[in-house]
């Protein structure tokens, strides 16, 4: 929970219930640590710089690499101060930052992130249907298209001429006038007199 925010009891209970539902949802794929209420069970970082997001998703492999962090907000906590105090710091981690907000606060959360230049990997909305909570993905950040890197110290690779039909066509076209010029020159020239054969001289 944010150190600058004190939620009403009812909102806090709903907030912590959502955290536990998300924990159950992700535990098959990740090692999930949670920090409901004022608990500090799963830190990200060490010492005074440690952060305590609502959920910490880590790889199930030996290294326990950080995969994502999740922050759950209620209607009272989607505001400018919360964005600067929590979202801005979580968005700087080397892991995707996912934000869950009530369905009616999606546009407010989107505007706060844009106005304060806070990159959020995913924004999810939630709403209750009876005792069940439904989650909907409403925003996903676009990933940059990877650009092929040039080989170090080597020239840039150009397409082979054999793959381009324009060059062979131009060469063929250049040869045709030369080939056609020879017959035309022969037609216009005065035909040379044929020399008499040796048999004709003898006669």
CA–CA separation, 8 vs 78, rounded Å?
A: 14
The answer as to whether 180 is a domain residue is: no
CA distance 8 to 139: 28
Distances (CA, A) of 38 to 45, 98, 102: 18, 20, 21
Question: What pLDDT tens digit does each residue of the chain (203 aa) get?
Answer: 565 567 888 899 999 999 999 999 999 999 999 999 889 999 999 888 999 999 999 999 988 999 999 999 999 899 999 999 999 999 999 999 999 999 999 999 999 999 999 999 999 999 998 888 999 999 999 864 444 444 444 444 444 444 444 454 454 444 554 544 455 544 555 555 555 555 455 54
Q: What is the CATH number of the domain that holds 25?
A: 3.40.1350
Q: Give first-to-last CA distance, the chain, whole Å.
A: 127
* 153 conformational bin, left if phi > 0, alpha if psi -120 to 50, beta if neither: left
Please count the structural domains in the chain: 1
pTM of the predicted protein model: 0.69
Tokens of residue 157, six digits:
């690779």
**Which residue's entry shows tokens 């910490």?**
56
Tokens 């020159």 correspond to what residue? 185
Instruction: Decide if 177 is inside a domain.
Output: no
Answer yes or no: is 101 within a domain.
Answer: yes
189 domain residue, yes or no: no
User: For residue 46, what are its two tokens?
Assistant: 């060490």
Residue 35 structural domain: 9-140
Residue 106 counted as domain residue: yes
**Three-state SS sequence of the chain:** CCCCCCCCHHHHHHHHHHHHHHHHHHCCCCEEEECCCCCCCCCECCHHHCECCCEEEECCCCCCCEEEEEEECCHHHCCHHHHHHHHHHHCCCCCCEEEEEEHHHHHHHHHHHHHCCCCCCEEEEEEEECCEEEEEEEEECCCCCCCCCCCCCCCCCCCCHHHCCHHHHHHHHHHHHHHHHHHHHHHHCCCCCCCCCHHHHHC
Instruction: Say if 176 falls within a structural domain.
Output: no
């Amino acid at each position: 929970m944010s150190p600058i925010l004190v939620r009403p009891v009812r909102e806090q209970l709903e907030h912590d219930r959502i955290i536990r539902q998300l924990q159950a949802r992700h535990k098959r794929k990740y090692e999930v640590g949670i920090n409901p209420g004022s608990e500090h069970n799963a830190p990200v970082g060490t010492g005074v710089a440690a952060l305590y997001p609502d959920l910490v998703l880590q790889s199930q492999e030996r290294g326990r690499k950080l995969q994502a962090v999740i922050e759950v907000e209620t209607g009272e906590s989607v505001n400018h101060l919360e964005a600067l105090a929590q979202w801005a710091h979580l968005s700087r981690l080397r892991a995707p930052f996912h934000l869950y907000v009530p369905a009616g606060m999606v546009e407010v959360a989107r505007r706060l992130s844009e106005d304060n230049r806070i990159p959020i990997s995913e924004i999810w909305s939630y709403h209750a249907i009876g005792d069940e909570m439904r989650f909907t993905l409403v925003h996903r950040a676009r990933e940059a298209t990877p650009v092929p890197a040039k080989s170090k110290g080597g020239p840039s690779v150009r397409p082979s001429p054999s793959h381009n039909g324009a060059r062979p066509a131009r060469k063929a076209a250049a040869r045709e006038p030369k080939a056609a010029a020879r017959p035309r020159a022969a037609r216009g020239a005065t035909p040379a007199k044929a020399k008499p054969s040796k048999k004709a001289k003898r006669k």
